[in-house]
Amino acid sequence: MRSVARTLAFSIPALLVAVMAIRTPALAGGPAAPDAQGSNFVTPTPGPDGKIIYIIQDGDSLWVIAAHAGISVEQLRALNGLAIDDFIVPGKQLLLGYAGPAQPTAAEGQVPTATVIPPTPTPIFGTAEICALLFVDENGNAMLDSGEPPLGGGQVSIANVSGQVAAEFTTTVEYTEDGLPLSHCVPDLQTGDYNVSAAVPVDYNPTTAMSVPVRIDAGDTRYVEFAAQPSAALVNNGGGSGQRSTALGILGLLLLAAAGGLAVYASRLGRKSPTWPRK
């Protein structure tokens, strides 16, 4: 081969290129003309998947493509599953290797914008509190009005949806610095759903619902109010005023007195009646 190279004035690499080009014809157009200097090889850019793909050109050979790609012909065949006697066809793709995905290039004079990854929402964990108040509903409107005092001696229970009691306490008569009824607060409750219930003292009747569902989230403070009236107050508010109750009391006394008078009169009348002789 060296003697042939000296005779033709070719270098040994150029002669090898010519020989390989002759031995690798293209299927589509028959044997390709040899190109001793190799084809105009365009360096491919890695795709998004990192694959380096080369489009076969007219006059290409595996040896030339492998030489430009910097790999051996055996590696090129292995990457593409080619046998020794397989041909390459212009227009087909050849895998030359793998690399990282292509990075976008900013236009001249522009600064590439960094991709902002939105933060992942952080779950909120924490505690909350529920405050309850039992008051005397003097006017029976089921609302806490000015001047209505707190009611002591009642019972308040706070339980979760599973029925587990989270807190229990007895209501007391306490006021804030501003002179308002003071609610009893239960702190450090786990977030979730609760049921707040109350029981009024003896001789009192409730004027509001005695069981209230409450949902609390982290940092919440929920207020629940219960109301009750003395039993006598319910009678007065049911059909009239205190004056009507007094009038009814007087009328009852008069009826009792009249009944007593009738009894005395009947007794005297019985004494004056004649006694008939028995036969």
Lowest mean pLDDT among 20-29, 47-56, 165-174: 20-29
Distance (Å, rounded) from C-alpha 82 to C-alpha 97? Answer: 15
pLDDT at 236: 58
Q: What average pLDDT does range 229-237 have in this prediction?
A: 69
- pLDDT over 50 (residue 198): yes
- pLDDT over 50 (residue 8): no
246 falls in which pLDDT band (50, 70, 90)?
low
CATH class of 127-234: mainly beta
Q: What is the pLDDT of residues 124-154, one digit of tens each?
A: 567 899 999 999 999 999 999 999 999 999 9
Q: Do domains 2-98 and 127-234 have the same CATH topology?
A: no
Going from N- to C-terminal start, the domains of the chain cover 2-98, 127-234
- Which residues have CB under 8 Å from 139's CB, separation 6+? 145, 148, 237
Count CB atoms within 10 A of the CB of residue 270: 8
More confident residue, 220 or 261: 220
Distance (Å, rounded) from C-alpha 164 to C-alpha 139? Answer: 35
Please report, rounded to a whole number, the percentage of residues in the chain having pLDDT higher than 70: 60
Q: What is the pLDDT of residues 105-131, one digit of tens each?
A: 666 667 667 666 666 665 556 789 999
Phi, psi of 54 (to 5 degrees): -115, 135
- In one-letter notation, the amino acid at residue 267 is S
pLDDT at 271: 54
- Assign domain 2-98 to its CATH superfamily: LysM domain (3.10.350.10)
49 falls in which pLDDT band (50, 70, 90)?
confident
86 falls in which pLDDT band (50, 70, 90)?
confident
